[in-house]
């Protein structure tokens, strides 16, 4: 029993230390969401993108949106994004995924290359209804929605770099979940794109101009994105879950050891109460 208890105590120490040793430091991949400062200034896309067509893929609009994105990247000390020639041939949903992955890869996060039919379905459904897609109960991750924007570059720029209170026209701007300086939704879209708490992560993405009749948006377009997968027990962001699991295992070991010890002690006590065994019967006929 002593050995088991010692092992259990070691596990408890590991569980406690994991909360301190493996907690990720704040970095661009895990921003202090209420304090992130991206002084991108007045976005150029607002004056360059004015086409009646949705999405607005005119060269002037695309260049302005990319300029805003790279300006914001530069303030974080990140290299600028150069779009591949084939980018213009991607549909808007694929452009969203490509741009989100570029934000992940520049921060040393794994890119998400495979889609999920289930997530794609939920993304399409939510895009039509102009809302955040739901995440299946069996998955861990997050989802984003945006509407009233001219193209995918602008959407990712807004999600990543103008998602806080001060950047939405001084409050009450594009992030509907960030209507107060420290609202829980501030920088929430950015956190979804930089999601790192899942394994086997898949994506779902959609773009539509066919909104539900109840949805009245200026540009009549809607973008959705989901990153989700199985909860990652050993992910840095899940150290509390890892510690909890180790604690449960250690406590079970202690309980099982104590039950076994009490059972052995009870058997020894019963043996003492029974007295010495009777002498063998040596008679025979």
- The whole-number pLDDT of residue 47 equals 87
pLDDT per residue as tens digits for the range 30-55: 444 445 555 555 678 888 988 777 89
- The whole-number pLDDT of residue 31 equals 46
What's the mean pLDDT in 9-23? Answer: 53
**Is 275 part of a structural domain of the chain?**
no
Considering the chain, what is the average pLDDT of its residues? 79
Total number of domains in the chain:
1
Instruction: Tell me how far CA of residue 276 lies from CA of 44, 264, 265, 270, in angstroms.
Output: 97, 19, 18, 12
Beta strands in the chain (DSSP E): 140-147, 198-208, 222-231
- Percent of the chain scoring above 90 in pLDDT: 43
232 strand-pairing partners = none
**Is 170 part of a structural domain of the chain?**
yes
**Is 232 part of a structural domain of the chain?**
yes
Q: Report residue 259's pLDDT band, with 50, 70 and 90 as the boundaries.
A: confident
CATH number of the CATH domain containing 166: 3.40.33
Closest to 223 (Cα-Cα) out of 250, 248, 204 = 204
pLDDT per residue as tens digits for the range 148-188: 899 999 999 999 988 887 765 444 457 888 888 778 888 89
The token pair that represents 179 in the structure block: 């209507």
Q: Are strands 222-231 and 140-147 parallel, antiparallel or unpaired?
A: antiparallel
Q: How far apart are CA 137 and CA 62, in angstroms?
A: 37
**Is 33 part of a structural domain of the chain?**
no
**Is 125 part of a structural domain of the chain?**
yes
What's the mean pLDDT in 125-139? Answer: 94
- The whole-number pLDDT of residue 28 equals 41
- The whole-number pLDDT of residue 199 equals 81
**Is 25 part of a structural domain of the chain?**
no
What's the mean pLDDT in 193-198? Answer: 85
pLDDT per residue as tens digits for the range 106-125: 999 999 999 999 999 999 99
What's the mean pLDDT in 234-245? Answer: 54
The parent domain of residue 108 ranges over 41-236
135 pLDDT higher than 90: yes
- The whole-number pLDDT of residue 196 equals 84
**Is 8 part of a structural domain of the chain?**
no
Q: Are 188 and 177 in contact (CB under 8 A)?
A: yes
Count of residues making up the chain: 285
- The whole-number pLDDT of residue 24 equals 42
**Is 208 part of a structural domain of the chain?**
yes
145 pLDDT higher than 60: yes
């Amino acid at each position: 029993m002593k050995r088991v208890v010692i092992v259990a105590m070691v596990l408890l120490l590991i569980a406690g230390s994991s909360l301190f040793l493996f907690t990720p430091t704040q970095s661009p991949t895990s921003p202090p969401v209420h304090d992130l400062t991206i002084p991108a200034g007045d976005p150029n896309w607002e004056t360059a993108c004015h086409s009646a067509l949705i999405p607005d893929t005119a060269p002037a609009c695309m260049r302005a949106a990319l300029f805003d994105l790279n300006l914001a990247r530069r303030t974080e000390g990140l290299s600028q994004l150069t779009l591949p020639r084939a980018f213009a041939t991607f549909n808007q949903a694929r452009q969203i995924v490509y741009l989100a992955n570029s934000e992940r890869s520049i921060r040393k996060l794994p890119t998400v290359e495979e889609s999920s039919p289930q997530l794609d379905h939920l993304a399409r459904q939510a895009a039509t209804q102009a809302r955040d897609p739901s995440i299946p109960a069996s998955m861990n991750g997050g989802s984003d929605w945006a509407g009233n924007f001219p193209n995918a570059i602008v959407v990712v720029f807004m999600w990543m770099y103008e998602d806080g209170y001060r950047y939405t026209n001084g409050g009450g701007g594009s992030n509907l979940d960030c209507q107060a300086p420290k609202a829980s939704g501030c920088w929430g879209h950015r956190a979804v794109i930089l999601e790192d708490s899942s394994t086997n992560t898949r994506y779902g993405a959609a773009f539509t101009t066919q909104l539900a009749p109840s949805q009245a948006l200026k540009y009549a377009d809607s973008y959705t994105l989901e990153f989700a997968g199985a909860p990652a027990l050993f992910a840095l962001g899940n150290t509390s879950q890892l510690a909890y699991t180790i604690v449960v295992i250690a406590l079970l070991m202690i309980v099982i050891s104590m039950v076994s010890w009490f059972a052995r002690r009870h058997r020894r006590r019963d043996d003492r109460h029974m007295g010495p065994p009777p002498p063998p019967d040596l008679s025979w006929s």
